[in-house]
Structure 1
Amino acid sequence: MPERKLTPNEVSYSAAISACEKVGRWQLALKLLDTMPQISIVPNAVSFNAAISACEKGGQWEMALSLLRQMPHVKISPNTITYSAAISACEKGGQWQLAFSLLNLMPEMTISQNAVSYNAAISACEKGGQWQLALSLLSNMLGIGLSLDGTTSGAALSACEQVSAWQPALALLDNMLSSQLLPNGLHAGSAASSLRKALGDSAAYELLDKLRELWEDNSNSNSNNNYNNYNNNSNNNKQPWEDSNNNNKQPEVRLWEAGQPVDQQLAVPPEALAAVFDVLSDVPGVIAIFKPSGVTTEEAVNELSQQLARQRHVSESVDLHIVSRLDHPTSGVLPLALGAVGSTAANWLEAQFAGRLVRKEYVCLCEGPSLGLTGCQGNVSTPLHTVELDGGRASRTEVSPIGRQAFTGYEVLAGYMPPLSSEPLLPSHDGEPGATGHADEQRPEGPELMLLRVRPLTGRTHQIRVHLASIGRPLVGDLTYGAKEASVLSSCPRLFLHARRIELRDLAGKPFVAEAELPHELEEVLAQLQQVAETSPEDGHQS
């Protein structure tokens, strides 16, 4: 600005700090804030708010609170935006007590609380496992006249899910309907997950079936009047959460029985797509394709959408909704909803993924100390925290106590000897918190390559890769979390991770299964390895 004979002021500096906040450059945002007094520019509330938001997005909750404490000393009064940003910073840092304290402090400072500040505090309580406090905050929020919204409902439902509190979860869904809010797939999935943990899959699917009818009717009619048409059937019409004796003492979700047929026109002829992608299965509302390694999920979906448009002779791309992603180097089954965001198909699939009702199976090759004989099983359940990098254009996941719940089960399919040029033994991480397994003492000592069948219950970013790396068994070919140059199989041409199978229900409620065989480049890797001879502990014979 000085080169153009323009004088910077608090407005231009605040805008620059805000720009840094939007791209995740919290260090530069703080540097700009510190520079302002040095050139005789007085920071204002907008400057501090933007800097606190930058710290929030950068995971720097302590720095955010430090800035909040500085404001009165420079005679700047914090406002609702300031406190909301600080509460959000505490939420992202896993500091639910501080978030709760800041929210309670706002009225004492004559600062108005709003939906943003409550949403952040409720989310903080959810992540801290304080579901009762989260519901209490929701009640307080409604008590001061703030309206229920989707964000608040989602955080409260997630809090209930943490402890399988299905009765309050169902009451929350009912409150959403009473407030003219149509639950989406994520809301439904959280409630279904609570039901699944307590009463099983069938109860969860009965709830989703009722919501599917509501989504379908809303899609067909686009009428807000449908939200108030609740199911007032007699007590003989047993709900999915009632026991066999019809003892229903908790609030029920009074979802309207739409009675509309499932849209059967959402299936796409597989032959229309064969020229671009291998279509594994195509049924009402769902299509599954084979995603090759080296292609992002977004690239695959965009190309598929355009190909569909060409086959249908329409000018606009066909709506497809991503409900689950495969990493760029991962191959395998990729399920998609045949519909736009908010469609019945999109909500239906989202609800199943969020409700942990989808069965996913991967095959991977990892390296390190043996995990036992063929058939040995184990799991990793440490929480995972994902940090955005480069302004959200990249991310990295790490094991962290402030992370979200994650569960990865595995089974040993085969063991292989490393090539003769293998590196020295990798350190063992047996006994680390969150890891359980049944490694067998009959295995040969030294590093080993293990082919695993992996079944993740949750779907955190890079979950399988991070979980196995965290117990000292990184995936072969993983350039982010793996052994890299120290790998015993550095010649592997790509990440050895493949989504082999997925099971869910299509839009008609019927079982849907899609499978993808191991790609030839990974088959070739296994063909060049020598399988470890196993000794059965029962008879002492090799197999």
Structure 2
Amino acid sequence: MKEPDIIYSDENMIIVNKPAGLAVHGGGSVVGETLSDFLLKKFPELSRVGDEPGLRPGIVHRLDRDTSGIMAVARNQKAFQELKEIFKTRKAEKKYIALVCGAVPGRDGVITAPIGRLIKDPTKRGVEHIRGARDAETRYKILKRFGKEYTLLEVLPKTGRMHQIRVHLKSIHHPVACDVKYGGKKVCCPAGLDRFFLHAHSLSFSYPEGRRWRFEADLPEELEEALKGLAHL
């Protein structure tokens, strides 16, 4: 697995590009090294930062294990509280790149279905037959279509529910490519790709007040190669 890439750091925050396959922190069924372990080795002071620094040192938001891309981490407790509030109040703009199954119609769209735990399988989220539904909003625009088989999207989640993008795209019958958990065993998947195609491409927010930051992470090599393999469509 590729090592995480530190894109930027100062006295208040660390911006990291997380590879797919790496969990953000331990707990539950997670085994092996996590992003938190990696960060603690490079920034030992994180052991004193956060609500649960022993488990989630400096972590103010998260990505799924198999989602790659940009994450922000607080480097001191004051920054942790301030950055956490930015994400909680939806003042951070997150943009993802997703390859989905099928030809998504139109040029853009908005999905507003509430998300909750599936009654029959609490390890999964959904928009129907759920409990604990919470409001959720996902905006998207079409970047490119590959025939009728795939569509490349830029996705902007306005809320931060667990598995939100994956659940919302599945709800409109265009699951993320290679996402077996939500798309099923027969979900579309470019040849050779062994992860689902979802990448946190950019993150922007104001911090401290008045200074606007924007960070970007290019698609990792395996996703670029997957797109090249679709060029004939």
The 1:388–1:306 alpha-carbon spacing in structure 2 relative to 1, beyond 3 Å, is farther
Q: Structure 2: which 5+ residue stretches go unaligned?
A: 26-33, 50-56
The 1:486–1:406 alpha-carbon spacing in structure 2 relative to 1, beyond 3 Å, is closer
| TM-superposition CA deviations, 1:509-535 (whole Å, max 9, x none) | 521221110000000000111366xxx
Aligned to 1:303: 38
1:524 paired with 2:225, answer yes
CA distance in structure 2 between the aligned counterparts of 1:475 and 1:489, rounded to whole angstroms: 11
Amino acid at match of 2:124: R
1:408 paired with 2:138, answer yes
Matches within 5 A, 1:303-452: 303-309=38-44, 317=47, 319=49, 320-339=57-76, 343-372=77-106, 376-386=107-117, 395-400=123-128, 403-417=133-147, 447-452=148-153
CA distance in structure 2 between the aligned counterparts of 1:531 and 1:286, rounded to whole angstroms: 43
Q: CA deviation at 1:484?
A: 2.6
Amino acid at match of 1:306: K
Contact conserved, 1:285 with 1:506, CA < 8 A, in 2?
Answer: no
Q: CA deviation at 1:384?
A: 0.2
Q: CA deviation at 1:322?
A: 1.2
CA distance in structure 2 between the aligned counterparts of 1:486 and 1:288, rounded to whole angstroms: 33
Please say which structure displays the higher CA radius of gyration: 1
CA distance in structure 2 between the aligned counterparts of 1:483 and 1:492, rounded to whole angstroms: 16
Aligned to 2:200: 499
Q: CA deviation at 1:487?
A: 2.2
Contact conserved, 2:104 with 2:142, CA < 8 A, in 1?
Answer: no
Contact conserved, 1:474 with 1:481, CA < 8 A, in 2?
Answer: yes
1:473 paired with 2:174, answer yes
Q: Which has the higher contact order (CA 8 A, sep 6+)?
A: 2
Contact conserved, 1:415 with 1:531, CA < 8 A, in 2?
Answer: no
SS in 1 for 2:176: coil
Q: CA deviation at 1:317?
A: 4.0
Amino acid at match of 1:497: L
| TM-superposition CA deviations, 1:446-496 (whole Å, max 9, x none) | x42000000000000000000000110000010200143252636422110
Alpha-carbon RMSD? 2.5
Q: CA deviation at 1:388?
A: 9.5
- More moved, 398-407 vs 347-356: 398-407
Amino acid at match of 2:139: G
SS in 1 for 2:183: coil
Amino acid at match of 2:111: V
Contact conserved, 2:98 with 2:153, CA < 8 A, in 1?
Answer: yes
| Greater strand content | 2
| TM-superposition CA deviations, 1:17-41 (whole Å, max 9, x none) | xxxxxxxxxxxxxxxxxxxxxxxxx
Aligned to 1:149: none
> Identity percentage over the alignment?
33
CA distance in structure 2 between the aligned counterparts of 1:486 and 1:465, rounded to whole angstroms: 13
TM superposition score normalised by structure 2: 0.83
Amino acid at match of 1:500: H
Amino acid at match of 1:396: K
SS in 1 for 2:16: strand
Contact conserved, 2:69 with 2:200, CA < 8 A, in 1?
Answer: yes
| Greater helix content | 1
Amino acid at match of 2:5: D
| TM-superposition CA deviations, 1:365-422 (whole Å, max 9, x none) | 00124323xxx111111000035999xxx831110475111000001000113xxxxx
Amino acid at match of 2:110: N
Contact conserved, 2:180 with 2:187, CA < 8 A, in 1?
Answer: no
CA distance in structure 1 between the aligned counterparts of 2:222 and 2:3, rounded to whole angstroms: 20
TM superposition score normalised by structure 1: 0.37
CA distance in structure 2 between the aligned counterparts of 1:290 and 1:414, rounded to whole angstroms: 24
Amino acid at match of 1:407: E
Contact conserved, 2:17 with 2:68, CA < 8 A, in 1?
Answer: yes
The 1:350–1:388 alpha-carbon spacing in structure 2 relative to 1, beyond 3 Å, is farther
1:512 paired with 2:221, answer no
| TM-superposition CA deviations, 1:38-57 (whole Å, max 9, x none) | xxxxxxxxxxxxxxxxxxxx
Amino acid at match of 2:207: D
1:286 paired with 2:17, answer no
The 1:406–1:458 alpha-carbon spacing in structure 2 relative to 1, beyond 3 Å, is same
Q: Structure 1: which 5+ residue stretches go unaligned?
A: 1-274, 418-446, 533-543
